[in-house]
A = this chain, B = another copy of it.
Amino acid sequence: MTNITGNSDAFYDSLTPDNAAMLLIDHQAGLFLGVHSIDQQILKNNVIGLAKTAKVFNLPTVLFTSSAKGPNGPTIPDLIELFPDHEIFNRSPINLWNDPKSRAAVEATGRKKLIMAAITTDVCLAFPALSALKAGYDVYAVVDASGTWSPQAEMATILRLTQAGAIMTNWVAVAAELKHDEDRSTTPAMNKAYGEHMGLYDFLGDIAAVK
């Protein structure tokens, strides 16, 4: 395909339950406490909403941690509960792409489109995102399920990743892209997750329930 901007197909082809995997990186309790680019409780809400999206659409999903025994702490329990049988890939290399087991876990998904969210955006998300782009993957960076030390660090990272070809997105849009149509069999489950993690559909749902 050739289009007006000369850009890659990657920017136009949709996420589907069949072409995408989800990487949830370093959503660890210690790292949450270091986030100052987004409210920490809203970030936690968005991360869980994104994780439930992966479950609704049955996406291959991989969880990672860095130095989970150190100050970064363990993955938050609310996330673990959603994936009770998943291995969490802990690593010593900063960039998970440089950890053979972690990288193998990504490759084992067999998907070309990687939906990635991490704490922190500038390190734990940016480094593997750049590696994945170089390796030919399409990268979707979920910015509102990621966070970092300061607004300056967040903005620098977002521009760095955009420049390198990663697609910036947010958890609700990822879910909507996968949902595709209000009439699919997965729609009720996704709408339930929306109602649990989005103010609008939560409150409108409450109103509708009594009518």
> Which residues of A are interface residues toward B (Cβ below 8 A)?
1, 3-12, 14, 29-34, 38-42, 44-45, 66-67, 70-71, 73-74, 76-77, 92-95, 98, 120, 122-123, 126-127, 130-131, 133-134, 136, 138, 141, 143-144, 148-150, 152-153, 155-160, 162-165, 167-170, 172-173, 176-177, 179-183, 198-211
Contacts and interface: CB of A to CB of B under 8 A. Distances in A.
Given A4-B8, A198-B34, A207-B29, A144 B134 contact: no
Given A4-B136, A156-B143, A200-B33, A162 B163 contact: yes
22 contacts: A1-B134, A3-B165, A4-B138, A5-B8, A6-B6, A9-B134, A11-B130, A12-B164, A14-B95, A33-B200, A34-B198, A39-B39, A41-B199, A42-B42, A44-B199, A73-B207, A74-B210, A93-B180, A144-B150, A148-B170, A156-B169, A157-B170
Contact of A122 (B38, B153, B169, B208): B169
A95 B180 CA distance: 7
A198 B149 contact: yes
A127 B203 contact: no
Contacts of A38: 152
A5 B165 contact: yes
Contacts of A136: 3-4
Contacts of A31: 200
**Which 7 residue pairs across A and B have the least CB separation, nearest first?**
A5-B165, A34-B200, A29-B206, A153-B170, A12-B134, A156-B168, A122-B173
Contacts of A3: 133-134, 136, 165
